[in-house]
Amino acid sequence: MIGVVIISAFFAAAAAVTALLMGSGWWMALIVYSCGGAFVLVALALVVARREENDCPSQDAKSVSVTPTNIAIANAETSVKSHADSTG
């Protein structure tokens, strides 16, 4: 997440320098730096959040309900497999 802050600061500084080169005053460059940095920071944070949302397992995995019965069945299947492997 620190990369998002560094990238936003870089883009804000570039926008401020561009504003100065175009003949704007120092106050305008400061406003451009502040607003541009805030905008880029929020935009990149949304991109990162959206990317992490897409990295989640499929919807089928989310729709499985976790109940004590399902947990007991999964544990029983695991213990039967491990018992069969050890006696085999």
For the segment 19-31, what is each residue's pLDDT rounded down to a tens digit? 999 998 999 999 9
Rounded distance between C-alpha atoms, residue 43 and residue 48, angstroms:
9
Under 8 Å between Cβ of 41 and 5: yes
Closest of 4, 18, 13, 7 to residue 34, by C-alpha = 13
pLDDT at position 17 over 60: yes
pLDDT at position 34 over 60: yes
pTM: 0.54
Rounded distance between C-alpha atoms, residue 44 and residue 41, angstroms:
5
